[in-house]
Structure 1
Amino acid sequence: MRVSTRGDYASRALLSLALHADESGPTSARDIAERTGLPQPYLEQILQALKGAGLVRSKRGAGGGYALARPACDIRLSEIVSAVDGPIVLGDFGEPHGDGACDHEGQCVLLAIWTHVGDIMHDLLSNYTLADIAKTANGLLPWPGSDRSSS
């Protein structure tokens, strides 16, 4: 599995909203783009997909913008990536025993492994909430994969 640019940008945009959640009112796409260094036109498309997935809400007009639709502790990294990239899977190899998927030597066992690894990756991304990522960015939790804290 490879997280696409859309998945990375979506995660960065929502992290920005989480990091600034204590500020009053919604945040404009322009402000999110400036804070994250993301291209605003592409970011606006991504924010619309995140809105469709129920991860952000928007308000039009003066003082409008985007805000998290749920508390950051209730938004998982797997949801963000899935909202813009589709289901988290290693590939689209078909189902074992379906459509001749196991007609060749070893194919069925490999399909089972790819499915299992995709499930593990989904579970791993589900372990990270937006709130935890924001705490890590602020140095309040250790960096993933290390025992050190960020200072």
Structure 2
Amino acid sequence: MKVSTRGDYASRALLSLALHAHEDGPTSVRDIAERTGLPQPYLEQILLALKGAGLVRSKRGVGGGYVLARPPEEIALSEILSAVDGPIVAGDFGEPHTNGACDHEGQCVLLAIWADVGEHMRRYLGSLTLADIVGMARGEAPWPDEKPEDAEPVS
């Protein structure tokens, strides 16, 4: 699986909202763009998709902007990526044993493997919440590539 630019930008935007959730009121698209270094026009499109998926709420007018629709503990990374990119899959190869998918040598076993890879990705991305990522970003939790003994002590 390759995470798309839309998926990366959506994740960065929601991480920014989660990191600043303690601040009063909504966050403007301009502020999110400045904090994350993302292009504002593209970010606006992404936020609309995230709003359609029920991950953010918006307020119009002066003092308007976006807030998370649910607590960061309840928003999985898999939901964010699916909201902007569709289902998380290893490829668009079809399912084993359907529509003649196993008509060619070795094809059926490979289709089963690709389906299994997709399931592993969905499970892993579903296990990470925005709250987990906030903890990592703040140095309060180990990064995904760190073993617990490699992590810096948190004071």
Range of TM-score over shorter length: over 0.9
List structure 1 segments (4+ residues) > 6 angstroms apart after TM superposition: none
Among all aligned residue pairs of Structure 1 and Structure 2, give the percentage whose two residues are the same amino acid: 75
Q: Report what 1:123 is aligned to.
A: 123
Q: Report what 2:88 is aligned to.
A: 88
Q: Report what 2:43 is aligned to.
A: 43
Q: How many residues align?
A: 151
TM-score by length of 1: 0.97
SS where residue 57 of structure 1 aligns?
strand
The answer for unaligned runs of 5 or more in structure 2 is none
Q: Cα distance, 1:133 vs. partner?
A: 0.3
**Structure 1: how far apart are the matches of 2:46 and 2:151?**
31
TM-score by length of 2: 0.95
**Structure 2: how far apart are the matches of 1:139 and 1:132?**
11
Q: Report what 1:3 is aligned to.
A: 3
The answer for unaligned runs of 5 or more in structure 1 is none
**Structure 2: how far apart are the matches of 1:42 and 1:126?**
25
Could you tell me whether the CA contact under 8 Å between 1:140 and 1:149 is conserved in 2? no
1:84 maps to a residue whose letter is V
CA RMSD of aligned residues (A): 1.0
1:64 maps to a residue whose letter is G
Q: Cα distance, 1:100 vs. partner?
A: 1.4
Describe the superposition over 1:39-62 as per-residue Cα deviations: whole angstroms up to 9, x where unpaired.
Answer: 000000000000000000000000
Could you tell me whether the CA contact under 8 Å between 1:139 and 1:149 is conserved in 2? no
Could you tell me whether the CA contact under 8 Å between 1:73 and 1:129 is conserved in 2? yes
